[in-house]
Amino acid sequence: MMGLLASAVEATMKIAPLAIPVLTTALSLSPIAYAQKAVTDPGKQEFEVNCGVCHGMDAKGNGALGANLKMVPPDLTLLAKNNGGVFPADRISSVIDGRAQVATHGTREMPILGQPIRG
């Protein structure tokens, strides 16, 4: 019996050096080991807070308040398609920062949002 135990100990000692790297590798691949803070996109967050309620969180014009409006909010995902394949960056920037008025948005203060949107 002692010979069997000695053989088992000897076999374990031969593979023991492999156990540490394997254990270390297994732990380093753990999602807990690499947990990171979620990256927040300030533009996305701004859209969700100020635009998503009408335009929808997916920007397709299906927001919660859309049914209550006189005009259905447009599908913003089609902006480039509806502009000859080019995203109208200057136009969008001017609408967001207040240089351009959009009648369906109401006054620049957009009372529905509770505070002015400024660029």
Q: What is d(CA 82, CA 94) in angstroms, rounded to the nearest whole number?
A: 18
CB 102, CB 96: distance < 8 Å: no
Contacts of 80 (CB under 8 A, 6+ apart): 86, 87, 88
User: Domain ranges in the chain?
Assistant: 1-35, 42-113
Q: How far are the Cα atoms of 4, 12, 27, 44, 91 from residue 1, in angstroms, in the given order?
A: 5, 17, 36, 69, 86
Give per-residue pLDDT as tens, 24-75: 454 455 555 566 677 788 888 888 888 899 999 999 999 998 888 888 889 9
Q: Six-digit token pair at 54?
A: 């009408």
CB 50, CB 43: distance < 8 Å: no
Closest CA to 116 of 50, 41, 63, 66: 50
Q: What is d(CA 101, CA 112) in angstroms, rounded to the nearest whole number?
A: 16
Q: Say what the pLDDT of residue 116 is.
A: 53
Instruction: Please give the model's pTM, rounded to 2 decimal places.
Output: 0.56
Give per-residue pLDDT as tens, 64-110: 988 888 888 899 999 999 999 999 999 988 888 778 888 777 766 54
